[in-house]
Amino acid sequence: MSILITGGAGFIGSHFALRMVNQGKHVVVLDKLTYAGNIENLNEITGDENKFKYFKFYKGDICNQELVGHIFSSEGVDVVINFAAETHVDRSIMSAGTFIDTDIKGVFVLLEASKRHGIKKFIQVSTDEVYGTVYHDAFKETDTLNPSNPYSASKTGGDRLAYAYWVTYKLPIIITRASNNYGDYQHPEKFIPLFITNALEDKKLPLYGDGQQIRDWIHVEDHCAAIDFLIVHGENGEVYNIGGGNERCNIDTTYFILDELNKPRTLIEHVKDREGHDRRYALDCTKIMSLGWKTQIKFETGLRDTIKWYKNNQKWWKQIKNSAFVEYYNRQYAHRFVNTCK
Ligand code: NAD
Ligand code: TYD
């Protein structure tokens, strides 16, 4: 079995690639190495010849039909896990073009190649953000999609396009909608690693609005285990929610991080809120759980380990934070700190 993992140099994709290689599967990674991709995320594979023999890396764009076609024919791909995406909501609000390209057109290119080559399984890694804000209870897979920012809207396009290829062409598709992931190797633009690393640098933590927004956190290893589980137990044409069952207010998560690092709460700055900020995400995961999957990692334990990882791997994130990220950070936050909410 040859598995094509797109976006395999990103946060979740690199964890999944390692998991597959550890199982002795032949893994092919296709990754554009955008600002979010980092070949170092794959060091555990590339630095170990016993793992490396199961591994092949292509630097390239999932929108590139020629390259994708070449990989399918030369690597004998039979399973595709599409993690490749532009993933940061704030960046999508600043500029949505690349989100439309990768998160919609890129999915189309992969689906077409998969159709031509008669693959056995295609997992479209979607997100809980396609549902939009949840006011009551939790979203089921059958609920209406109501995405509210360019990231979630483009992910919804990819999600529904994948579904259309099942209905129309019977391409063996599974769609997963996971909640917010956390863990090691997450890019420091995202909430948890940004707040951990800013706190380590004694910088302000820009908490949007009142900080009462709720996210349901899942450890990246639990998410990868769920996808692995669905390759075997999932039914084609079905959507599966993958939630952590850990709903937390952003402000409480912030307090936890500061307390663990022995840093003062005065580092928190309530800044101008994100435009169209979804207030709460929550998933009903009865469907996947009834097949026998459940999370293994308790949020507080996983977060403690994640904080330790960022403390012990400062070279990894400082390299990122001290590069093009500086320009992004200023564009994203300078005006927010000026408009600090009291
Ligand atoms: P990430 O931003 O860390 O990684 C994305 C990877 O995709 C990077 O390595 C990047 O170089 C690559 N990429 C981007 N555009 C590409 C293109 N056109 N061609 C090839 N490669 C390209 O993202 P992540 O957090 O690891 O998320 C992975 C997937 O999981 C995404 O599809 C995302 O929507 C989904 N997801 C993420 C979360 C989360 O909390 N992080 C939750 C639910 C679903
Ligand atoms: P994020 O990691 O961007 O994930 P998403 O928006 O996809 O859920 O943000 C998680 C939560 O943290 C979200 O409610 C927005 C909030 N947040 C802040 O308060 N400040 C920040 O600087 C960032 C990046 C996020």
**Helix spans in the chain (H):** 11-22, 43-46, 49-52, 65-75, 89-94, 97-100, 106-117, 150-169, 191-200, 220-233, 250-260, 286-289, 299-312, 314-321, 325-338
Q: Measure 85 CA to ligand 1 centroid, in angstroms.
A: 4
Mean pLDDT of 101-115: 98
Mean pLDDT across 196-203: 98
Mean pLDDT of the chain: 97
Q: How far is CA 22 from CA 3, 80, 118, 229, in A?
A: 13, 18, 26, 15
92 touches ligand 1 (CB under 6 Å): no
Residues 6+ apart with CB under 8 A from 91: 151, 189, 328
Which pTM does this prediction carry?
A: 0.98
Give the residue-averaged pLDDT of 324-340: 90
The helix (run of H) or strand (run of E) holding residue 208 is strand 205-208
pLDDT at residue 88 tops 80: yes
Q: Is 97 left (phi over 0), alpha (psi -120 to 50) or beta?
A: alpha
User: pLDDT by residue (tens digit) across 24-68?
Assistant: 999 999 999 999 999 999 999 999 999 999 999 999 999 999 999
- Beta pairing class for 173-178 and 121-127: parallel
The class (CATH top level) of 2-183+216-242 is alpha beta
Q: Is 248 in the pocket of ligand 2 (CB under 6 A)?
A: no
Closest CA to 283 of 159, 95, 153, 134: 134
At CA 81, angle to CA 79 and CA 85, rounded to 5? 150
Structural domain spans, the chain: 2-183+216-242, 191-214+247-277+299-338
Mean of the pLDDT values across residues 138-158? Answer: 98
Q: Looking at residue 1, what is its pLDDT?
A: 73
* pLDDT value at 105 more than 80: yes
Asked if residue 206 has its Cβ within 6 Å of ligand 2, the reply is yes
In CATH, what class is 191-214+247-277+299-338?
Answer: alpha beta
Distance CA 276, CA 307 (A): 29
